[in-house]
Amino acid sequence: MSGLYIHLPFCKSKCGYCGFYSEPDAYGLTEKYFDALLKDLSARQSAEYDTLYIGGGTPSSVSPVLLSAFLEKLSAKIPFSFEESTIEANPESVTPDFLSVVREFGFSRISMGCQSTDEKVLKLLGRVHGRAEIFGAAELIRSMCPDTALNLDMIFDIPSVDNSVQMKTLEEMISLAPEHVSAYSYSFDTEYLKNTEPCGDSAFLDVKKALQAAGYHKYEISNFAKAGHESRHNMAYWRLKDYDGLGASAWSLKNFEGGRVLSGKTRDLHEYIANPEAFAETDRTEGVHAAAQELVFGLRMLDGTDFSLLKYRYGDAACVFEERVDTLVSEGMLTWRRENLCLTEKGELILDSVQEYLWGCLP
């Protein structure tokens, strides 16, 4: 069994910093797109999944009537007996009708993209909601879906934004008592804000300290959860477990002995609707390159990478990293916890550099 990801690329507007594929105001294609998703699913081999994650885009912005009809058809094709099911939402489109669909199909998690509670920062980021919608949406979720866990997304290290403003956002998010918080350091994945003055020292340690003081534990570099509320679906990504991805821009991963195949769909909504079963890209990785993927992805997790297991799976291919691992350990970036290789707090601050250094020894 594996995870199922479904990408809904519909958005009211495109946030300038967002690197995910979306099409603003393409809602007229919703029904055709849902039909294409079902055809895509029919071409897959898996009949059951452990987890479901519906992301985007903004799933909550889709017509609740059409969303419900799609989920009804989906549930006729695969059992809705998931260990965990998540749907993404934005505050401005969390409505009673949307939450009725969430409740009807038993979603166990809602992941709400807030990013900030400061009005000026929200405008800077191009968000279409204000702070009032965040608090209103959280209250509505709690009243209509009391058994559904809530994740809140925030962004810190935003250029030209004072650290105190970002920490105030975190304080206010914690006051909403979400079961899970995803806290991402702003990155220049797009040209957005690229010429803006940097924010200075990273707020990562302040964010981590505040969340831990509030009872959240960091189980992945950007993710914090109350006990038992870790995202199982996302942990499968970081552990490179099998998953199927449906929809434009979605990726699927299948493991085989000694490696894995990553297959991606087109990033064009119209092309996907015309031929949903086709993959636009396929990347087969094995040997030392597959071992490298497992090593660097595992380092994102609190419990790190089991190096003895890596050697068992990949043999001599895993030994390529030993010299650089020893260097990173001696410099205080990595540490050993029994057989597991883990980031230190010093290493967490420069994770990208640690990963690049490890990738650098590949032939």
In total, the chain counts a number of residues equal to: 363
pLDDT at 190 over 60: no
Mapped onto helix, strand or coil, the DSSP state of residue 342 is strand
**pLDDT of amino acid 187:** 65
Mapped onto helix, strand or coil, the DSSP state of residue 9 is coil
Give the pLDDT mean for 296-315: 95
Return the domain boundaries, the chain: 2-236, 280-359
Residue 21 binned pLDDT confidence (cut-offs 50, 70, 90): confident
Total Cβ atoms within 10 A of residue 47: 9
Residue 201 binned pLDDT confidence (cut-offs 50, 70, 90): low
Q: What percent of the chain has pLDDT above 70?
A: 95
Q: Which among 182, 168, 265, 177 is positioned nearest to 215, based on CA atoms?
A: 177
Give the pLDDT mean for 11-31: 85
Q: From CA 12, how far away is CA 24, in angstroms rounded?
A: 5
**pLDDT of amino acid 202:** 79
**pLDDT of amino acid 1:** 64
Mapped onto helix, strand or coil, the DSSP state of residue 187 is coil
Strands 243-246 and 223-225, bridge-based pairing: unpaired
| Contact in structure between 240 and 260 (CB atoms under 8 Å) | yes
Q: From CA 235, how far away is CA 3, in angstroms rounded?
A: 10
Q: Peptide bond before 298: cis, by omega within 30 degrees of 0?
A: no
Q: Which among 53, 61, 88, 25 is positioned nearest to 234, based on CA atoms?
A: 53
**pLDDT of amino acid 309:** 95
Q: How far is CA 246 from the centre of its chain?
A: 15
Give the architecture-level CATH label for domain 280-359. Answer: Orthogonal Bundle (1.10)
**pLDDT of amino acid 194:** 52
What are 45-91's pLDDT values in tens digits? 877 999 999 999 999 999 999 999 999 999 999 999 999 999 999 99
DSSP secondary structure, 257-326, as one string: TTEEEEEE--S-HHHHHH-TT--SEEEEEEHHHHHHHHHHHHTTBTT-EEHHHHHHHHTHHHHTTHHHHH
Equal fold, 2-236 vs 280-359: no
| Contact in structure between 108 and 148 (CB atoms under 8 Å) | yes
Q: Which among 229, 272, 257, 264 is positioned nearest to 243, based on CA atoms?
A: 264
Q: What percent of the chain has pLDDT above 90?
A: 86
Q: How far is CA 242 from the centre of its chain?
A: 16
Give the architecture-level CATH label for domain 2-236. Answer: Alpha-Beta Horseshoe (3.80)
Total Cβ atoms within 10 A of residue 114: 28
Mean pLDDT of the chain: 93
What are 339-357's pLDDT values in tens digits? 999 999 999 999 999 999 9
Specify which residues 251 forms β-bridges with.
264
